[in-house]
Structure 1
Amino acid sequence: MPMIDIPTRDGTADAYLAHPGDGAPHPAVLFCMDAFGLRPHLKSMADRLASEGYTVLVPNVFYRYGRAPVVELPEFINPAERPELVQAVGPAARTLTPEGAMRDAAVYLDWLAASPLTGDGPVGVTGYCMGAGLALRTAGAHPERIAAAAGFHGARLATDAPDSPHLLAGHITAELYFGHADRDSANPADQIARLEKALTEAGVEHRSEVYEGALHGFTQADTAMYGAEPTDRHWVALLDLFARRLTD
């Protein structure tokens, strides 16, 4: 599948596009990357999703810093043994503000809407780690476009910050699903409860589950945090959500 370039107000975002390969239009999905960025494993996840009948766009959201891969990564990522890898992505991550992320999301959604490979129906969003927050923000910023959004092992979804993603709950019309990691310092129990409360009070249709024993990053098979069982569970939940909410 091809890499493409998408012009934005702040530069050019490189992105991976996955499609069933039949030339026909399919429901669009915006795939929000984790902090380690657009790399072979994320492309394989997008390919898996595309094989289920979706046109999947995976932007390099750190394009302001550089084209993917924005940092040099080993084939197997183990932050415990190489903490410098986490430090290395910090400068790239700081180039993406909430405001910039939402400007970009509008551009990505416009690109998907204009593509002959997507249908006329609503869009789905899925995000991983930091991407779960981007998925939540996208659902809140573009309720007229997003029918389904999911986040897995999300980070800082419901903090005390004045721009925390959960504060957009009142704008969301999509159905949401969250698969939280049980062992995740980036998304502690009090933040999960705060997110749940905000969504419930806003009347957002959602399901929020804690995957027992799962680590932050459990879907990422090229990392030491990977878990086969929670990853399989994530695919079941994600595909069920999209099958119900996305139509051609």
Structure 2
Amino acid sequence: MTAVHGEHLNLTTPDGVADAYLAHPDDGRPHPGVLLYMDAFGLRPSLEEMAKRLAGHGYTVLMPNVLYRAGRAPLVDLPDFIDGPQAAEIFERLFPLIRALTPELAMRDAGAYLDWLAASPLVAEGPVGTTGYCMGGVLAIRTAAAHPDRIAAAAAFHAGRLATDAEDSPHRLADRITAELYFGHADQDASLPAEQIEALETALDNAGVRHRTEVYEGAHHGYTQAGTSAYNAEASERHWQALLDLLGRNLQP
């Protein structure tokens, strides 16, 4: 991997200013852009390390605080290690903020994030990729549907509620997506039971979306997130390989 540079910055959106983290190869050249969507716990050192690892493979990675309307990250105090009971307590505090981020607001923001990437001299011309974790996985798929001309690849890891009865369920957006998709589901994830995985697959197949879905056995919701009790090193490395393969096929010349 190449040397990378990371920095914090502010992004202007239609509704305010979002704090964000940017990581890119430290060579001054433009590289394919990737919009990385955070999990519910938000921007923090471990996610910054993930952004830098991805950048080290030749990408300019933008990771916004999608809950910026509630304040700059971190929105709650986070311990160095988040175990199960702590995770539930923290999520309970964050849930009202997450719920307030409607699909309409999130996609209005997505347009601003993509505009920033398109205008940056650090980003190569052409479509970009997006990847997300937990709630960020849902946002990645919604972004691929909202901006099909701008997203060439999208990945979602341990994302929940992808195929529900709701009118705005992500799986109902399948016919708008032109990007290649990858899903890395956790088989120990109550937020995405087997019937939702099946419904998602059916929707993607019927819409003719290029995609690959894998269920990681023994993995829990949050398996990619170091510093939490859900972290699974083997599953996390598997996710890196899948993500890099997806982005390489669609973004690298």
Q: TM-score range by the shorter chain?
A: over 0.9
**In the TM superposition, what is the alpha-carbon distance from 1:11 to its structure 2 partner?**
1.1
Q: Is the 8 A contact 1:31 1:127 kept in 2?
A: yes
**In the TM superposition, what is the alpha-carbon distance from 1:29 to its structure 2 partner?**
0.0
Whether 1:56 aligns to 2:56 is: no
Determine the C-alpha separation between the residues in 2 that align with 1:95 and 1:2: 28
1:192-236 deviation per Cα after TM superposition (whole angstroms, max 9, x unaligned): 111110000000000001000100000001110000010010000
Change (3 A) 1:119 1:87: same
The amino acid of 1:220's aligned partner reads Q
Whether 1:166 aligns to 2:148 is: no
1:4-28 deviation per Cα after TM superposition (whole angstroms, max 9, x unaligned): 1111111110000000111110000
Q: Work out which of the residue numbers 175, 197, 200 in structure 2 matches 1:192.
A: 197
Q: Which residue of 1 aligns with 2:92?
A: 87
Q: Which residue of 2 aligns with 1:106?
A: 111
**In the TM superposition, what is the alpha-carbon distance from 1:81 to its structure 2 partner?**
4.7
Tell me the TM-score normalized by structure 2: 0.96
Q: Which residue of 2 aligns with 1:244?
A: 249
**In the TM superposition, what is the alpha-carbon distance from 1:49 to its structure 2 partner?**
0.1
Unaligned ranges ≥5, structure 1: none
Secondary structure of 1:83's counterpart equals: helix
Determine the C-alpha separation between the residues in 2 that align with 1:176 and 1:11: 30
Q: Work out which of the residue numbers 42, 45, 53 in structure 1 matches 2:47.
A: 42
1:66-104 deviation per Cα after TM superposition (whole angstroms, max 9, x unaligned): 100011110111132563212121232123111000000
| C-alpha RMSD over aligned residues | 1.0
Determine the C-alpha separation between the residues in 1 that align with 2:41 and 2:16: 21
Change (3 A) 1:82 1:53: closer
Unaligned ranges ≥5, structure 2: 1-5
Q: Work out which of the residue numbers 132, 136, 140 in structure 1 matches 2:137.
A: 132
Q: Work out which of the residue numbers 164, 180, 183 in structure 1 matches 2:185.
A: 180
Q: Is the 8 A contact 1:124 1:148 kept in 2?
A: yes
Secondary structure of 1:94's counterpart equals: helix
The amino acid of 2:28's aligned partner reads G
Q: Which residue of 2 aligns with 1:210?
A: 215
The amino acid of 2:219's aligned partner reads A
Q: Is the 8 A contact 1:121 1:247 kept in 2?
A: no
Q: Which residue of 2 aligns with 1:223?
A: 228
Count of residues in Structure 1 that have an aligned counterpart in Structure 2: 248
Tell me the TM-score normalized by structure 1: 0.98
Identity over aligned residues, as a percent? Answer: 65
The amino acid of 1:133's aligned partner reads V
Secondary structure of 1:162's counterpart equals: coil
The amino acid of 1:52's aligned partner reads H
As a proportion of its length, which structure holds more helix? 2
The amino acid of 1:215's aligned partner reads H
Q: Which residue of 1 aligns with 2:3?
A: none
Secondary structure of 2:85's counterpart equals: coil
Determine the C-alpha separation between the residues in 2 that align with 1:64 and 1:78: 27
Change (3 A) 1:82 1:151: closer
Q: Work out which of the residue numbers 65, 68, 72 in structure 2 matches 1:67.
A: 72
Secondary structure of 2:68's counterpart equals: coil
